Amino acid sequence: MDPSLMLQKVKERLPEKRFKHVLGVMNTAVALAKQYGVPEDQARIAAILHDVAKFADREWMRGIIEKQKMDPLLLDYHHELWHAPVGAYLASYEFGVEDAGILDAIRYHTTGRAGMSDLEKIIYTADMIEPSRQFPGVDRLRAMKNDGLDRLMEASIRQSIEFLASKNQPVYPDSLKCLEHFEQQKG
Ligand code: DGI
Ligand code: FE
Ligand code: FE
Ligand code: FE
């Protein structure tokens, strides 16, 4: 499917503010892809589709997670996490995306994971720093965009984990393993 048609279909599924976020992630992700030598087309498609399941019905998503044999641990954590793997499912089955790298970037855009690809890091971090995002600390992350994808990703996952911890929200194990991975890399 042509990216502009994907964008049009995504627009129909999302409220205006969320669609604006998607456009921001797309522009930010394409810029990071150019900067870090990742294929632009992959970044564009992953960004357009990353939140496609954000407003999907919760019980429908539960059913998809069960039927598609996704990690059942997801169901023990906050339902906000579900739109990422279910989004990868929709990207594949409804939008015909076959590129496993794009599907993984969508699948892990909320939690991160250990051993992320550059495309996964780009989608995760573009999601956090796109221009319409506002949270304390976002400008510090934006200022790190030229510091290398690993530093940007490490600071971003650390920010997310600290934010969840400050609200006493349980952190999904993939996120903790993601941060540990970067800390071990530095030795
Ligand atoms: O979909 P977006 O709002 O663009 O951003 P996202 O997919 O990165 O995150 C969606 C929400 O998921 C966000 O409000 C924080 C929450 N979240 C991310 N990781 C975890 C989490 N919630 C819990 N409880 N545990 C996590 O590990
Ligand atoms: Fe999301
Ligand atoms: Fe995110
Ligand atoms: Fe998002």
Q: What are the pLDDT digits (tens) for 70-104?
A: 999 999 999 999 999 999 999 999 999 999 999 99
Query: Left, alpha or beta for 56 (phi > 0: left; psi -120 to 50: alpha)?
Result: beta
Taking the centre of ligand 4 as the mean of its atom positions, its distance from the CA of residue 146, in whole angstroms, is 21
3-186 CATH fold:
Hypothetical protein af1432 (1.10.3210)
- Torsion sign, CA atoms 152, 171, 20, 123: positive
What is the band of 186 on the pLDDT scale with cuts at 50, 70, 90?
confident
The answer, yes or no, to whether ipTM is higher than 0.95 is no
Taking the centre of ligand 4 as the mean of its atom positions, its distance from the CA of residue 128, in whole angstroms, is 8
Domain ranges of the chain: 3-186
Q: Which atom of ligand 1 is nearest to the CA of 80?
A: 12
pLDDT of residue 40: 98
